[in-house]
C-alpha cells in the first residue's frame, strides 16, 4: 500500500505541495488526496478585483488547474468537501461532503494543512448582513459577482483602506458605482508610512472615490434587501454593497482543535521545513506562521508569493527530500488607480516596534530619463538602521514602471546590505528604463547622507 498524503485546502499552498510531492515521488510511492470545501482548486484569489472590475472576463480565467487536470497527474482533488476534524493520534481526518451531506473518515500517513486565512469581520451591529462581503477565496469573488449581477448596486463602501480594499474600490468604480472608502488610520494603504500613503489618498480622490480617513465604522444599517448604509462616527454613507478590507487572520482553528501549536501571531507553528512539531503533519501558506527575517520574530503575513514557496518546500520534504524556507521580508506590490505601490521589510512603525533606531530618506525621481517619453514620477523611501546604515525596509509609490523596483530593494534587504553597500550597486541604465542614477540608487545615496548626518550630530 503506498504512503498516503492528505491535503486540506485546494489552493496555492496545498496544491503546490501536492504537485511537488507528486513530481518527486512517482504515483506508486505516494497516493495524494486533497479536500477543498469550495468548488474550485488552484485559483488566483489575487485576480478577484480584476474579475469584478471586468479586466478578467470570467471566473474560469482565474482557475490555474482543475480537479480533472490534477487527476491526470494522479492527484485526487475532491471539491465541496470540508475537513471538519483532524485526529492526530489515529491519523485520520473527518470529511463532510457538502453536496451529499455525508461524513466519512480518511486515514493519512502525511497531512498537509493549507486552510488559508479568514477575512476579519468587525463585531458591529449587522456586520453579517446580506451584501457585506469579506474577500479571500474565489467563492467570495463569485458571490460578489452574483450579487452585482442580481442586485445592480449603485453605491459601494469599502471598510478598510488596505491593498485588497482599495483594489476592490477601484473595481467597483470601474463598474460605475459611487464608491467610498472608510479608513481608521490617517492615510490609506497602511502597509506604507503615512507620508507614502498620502499620494494614494490623492489618487483615490482624483478618481472620484470618496475617502474618509481617521474615521471609525460603528454599525451597518439594513433594510429588507440587506445592507443599506455604513454608519461611522461622523456620517451615514448609503451602501448597496460593502466589502470588508480589514485584513485576514490565519485559518488555524482546525489545527488548534487538533492540538497543534498555534503561535502568538495566530498561525500554525512550523519549522523551516514547514513541519509542525507533530511528525508528518505539515502546514503552509496563510494559515502558517512565518519568520520575519528583519524583525527577527514570527509573523502572520497573507501573501500568495509566500504560500507557493512554502508549499513547494513542504512538498519536497513530504516526498522525502530536503528543503527549507528561511522566512520572509514581506515584499508586496499593488496598483491603485494609476498608482503603483510597493513595500518590503519594515516601515517606520514596524522598525520602532522591532526595537530598531532608524533614519529615513525619501526621494522623488523618474522611472525613465527625464526627457524620455512616458517618464513618470516615482517616490522611493528607505528606512535604515542608525549608525550601521543597514537597510530595514523600503517603500515605493509611483506611476507605471515604479513598483517592481522594489525587488532590487528586497534583494538588498534579504542579503542584509547597508545603504553604503547599495549605493554603488551595478544597476542597469539606458534612457527608456531609468535615469542615469536609478531611483533606488539616489535614495540609497540620500539614506547614506542621513546616516552620516545623524552620526555627526551624535559626536
Active site residues per annotation? 46
Helix (H/G/I), strand (E/B), else coil: 34: strand
39 binds ligand FAD (CB under 6 A): no
Q: Which is nearer to ligand FAD, 12 or 417 (CB)?
A: 12
Q: Report the alpha-carbon angle 157-161-166, nearest 5.
A: 75
322/324 Cα distance (integer angstroms): 7
Site for ligand FAD, residues 124 to 183, rule: CB under 6 A: 135-137, 164
445 binds ligand FAD (CB under 6 A): no
Instruction: For the CB of residue 261, give the shortest distance to ligand FAD in the complex, in Å.
Output: 18
420 binds ligand FAD (CB under 6 A): no
85/62 Cα distance (integer angstroms): 29
82 binds ligand FAD (CB under 6 A): yes
For ligand FAD, the binding residue among 83, 268, 281, 341 (CB under 6 A) is: 83
For ligand FAD, the binding residue among 6, 11, 319, 450 (CB under 6 A) is: 11
DSSP of 46-85: GGHHHHHTTSS--GGGGBS--HHHHHHTTEEEEETEEEEE
Are the beta carbons of 449 and 360 closer than 8 angstroms? no
Residue 408 phi/psi, 5-degree rounding, is: -65, -45
Q: Which is nearer to ligand FAD, 35 or 220 (CB)?
A: 35
For ligand FAD, the binding residue among 18, 21, 45, 246 (CB under 6 A) is: 45
Instruction: For the CB of residue 288, give the shortest distance to ligand FAD in the complex, in Å.
Output: 8
Q: Spell out, one character per residue from 287 to 326, where the chain touches ligand FAD: x when CB under 6 A holds, - when not.
A: ---------------xxxx-x-------------------
Buried b (16+ CB within 10 A) or exposed e, 386-421: eeebbbbbbbbbbbebbbebbebbbebbbeebbbbb
63 binds ligand FAD (CB under 6 A): no
Q: Spell out, one character per residue from 229 to 268, where the chain touches ligand FAD: x when CB under 6 A holds, - when not.
A: ----------------------x--x--------------
Size of site (CB under 6 A) for ligand FAD = 34
**Cβ-Cβ contacts under 8 Å for 415 (sequence gap 6 or more):** none
For ligand FAD, the binding residue among 183, 187, 275, 286 (CB under 6 A) is: 286
Helix (H/G/I), strand (E/B), else coil: 161: coil
Q: Which is nearer to ligand FAD, 267 or 389 (CB)?
A: 267
Q: Which is nearer to ligand FAD, 106 or 195 (CB)?
A: 106
Helix ranges (DSSP H) in 131-283 = 138-151, 163-174, 194-206, 253-257
331 binds ligand FAD (CB under 6 A): no
46 binds ligand FAD (CB under 6 A): yes
379/337 Cα distance (integer angstroms): 16
Give the relative orientation of helices 12-24 and 304-318 as an angle to the nearest 10 degrees.
30
The binding site for ligand FAD (CB under 6 A) comprises: 8-14, 35-38, 45-46, 48-49, 82-83, 114-117, 135-137, 164, 251, 254, 285-286, 302-305, 307
Amino acid at each position: 500500500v503506498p504512503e498516503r498524503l492528505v491535503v486540506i485546502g485546494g489552493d496555492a499552498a496545498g496544491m503546490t505541495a501536492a504537485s511537488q510531492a507528486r513530481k518527486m515521488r512517482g504515483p506508486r510511492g505516494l497516493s495524494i488526496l486533497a479536500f477543498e470545501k469550495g468548488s474550485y482548486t488552484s485559483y488566483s484569489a489575487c485576480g478577484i478585483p480584476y474579475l469584478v472590475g471586468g479586466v478578467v472576463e470570467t471566473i474560469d480565467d482565474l482557475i490555474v488547474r482543475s480537479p480533472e487536470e490534477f487527476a491526470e497527474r494522479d492527484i485526487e482533488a475532491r471539491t465541496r468537501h470540508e475537513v471538519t476534524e483532524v485526529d492526530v493520534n489515529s491519523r485520520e481526518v473527518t470529511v463532510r461532503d457538502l453536496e451529499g451531506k455525508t461524513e466519512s473518515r480518511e486515514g493519512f500517513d502525511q497531512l498537509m494543512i493549507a486552510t488559508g486565512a479568514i477575512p476579519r469581520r468587525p463585531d458591529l451591529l449587522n456586520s453579517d448582513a446580506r451584501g457585506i462581503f469579506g474577500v479571500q477565496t474565489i467563492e467570495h469573488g463569485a458571490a460578489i459577482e452574483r450579487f452585482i449581477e442580481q442586485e445592480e448596486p449603485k453605491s459601494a463602501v469599502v471598510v478598510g483602506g488596505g491593498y485588497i480594499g482599495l483594489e476592490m474600490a477601484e473595481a467597483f468604480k470601474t463598474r460605475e458605482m459611487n464608491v467610498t472608502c472608510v479608513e481608521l488610520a490617517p492615510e490609506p494603504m497602511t502597509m506604507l508610512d503615512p507620508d507614502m500613503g498620502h499620494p494614494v489618498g490623492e489618487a483615490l480622490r482624483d478618481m472620484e472615490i470618496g475617502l474618509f480617513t481617521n474615521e471609525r465604522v460603528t454599525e451597518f444599517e439594513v433594510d429588507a434587501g440587506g445592507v443599506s448604509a455604513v454608519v461611522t462616527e461622523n456620517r451615514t454613507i448609503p451602501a448597496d454593497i460593502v466589502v470588508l478590507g480589514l485584513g485576514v487572520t490565519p485559518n488555524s482553528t482546525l489545527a488548534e482543535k487538533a492540538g497543534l501549536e498555534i503561535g502568538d501571531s495566530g498561525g500554525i507553528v512550523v519549522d523551516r521545513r514547514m513541519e509542525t512539531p507533530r511528525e508528518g503533519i505539515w502546514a503552509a501558506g496563510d494559515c502558517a506562521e512565518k519568520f520575519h527575517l528583519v524583525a527577527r520574530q514570527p509573523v502572520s503575513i497573507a501573501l500568495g508569493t509566500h504560500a507557493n514557496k512554502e508549499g513547494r518546500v513542504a512538498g519536497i520534504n513530504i516526498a522525502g527530500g530536503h528543503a527549507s524556507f528561511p522566512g520572509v521580508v514581506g515584499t508586496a506590490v499593488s496598483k491603485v488607480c494609476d498608482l503603483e505601490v510597493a513595500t518590503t521589510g519594515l516601515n517606520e512603525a514596524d522598525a520602532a516596534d522591532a526595537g530598531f533606531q532608524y533614519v529615513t530618506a525619501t526621494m522623488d525621481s523618474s522611472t525613465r530619463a527625464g526627457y524620455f517619453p512616458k517618464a513618470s514620477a516615482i517616490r522611493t523611501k528607505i528606512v535604515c538602521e542608525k549608525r550601521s546604515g543597514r537597510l530595514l525596509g523600503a517603500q515605493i509609490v509611483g506611476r507605471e514602471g515604479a513598483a517592481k523596483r522594489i525587488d532590487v530593494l528586497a534583494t538588498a534587504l534579504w542579503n542584509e546590505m547597508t545603504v553604503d553597500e547599495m549605493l554603488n550597486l551595478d544597476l542597469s541604465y539606458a534612457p527608456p528604463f531609468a535615469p542615469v542614477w536609478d531611483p533606488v540608487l539616489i535614495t540609497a545615496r540620500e539614506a547614506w547622507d542621513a546616516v552620516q548626518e545623524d552620526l555627526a550630530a551624535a559626536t
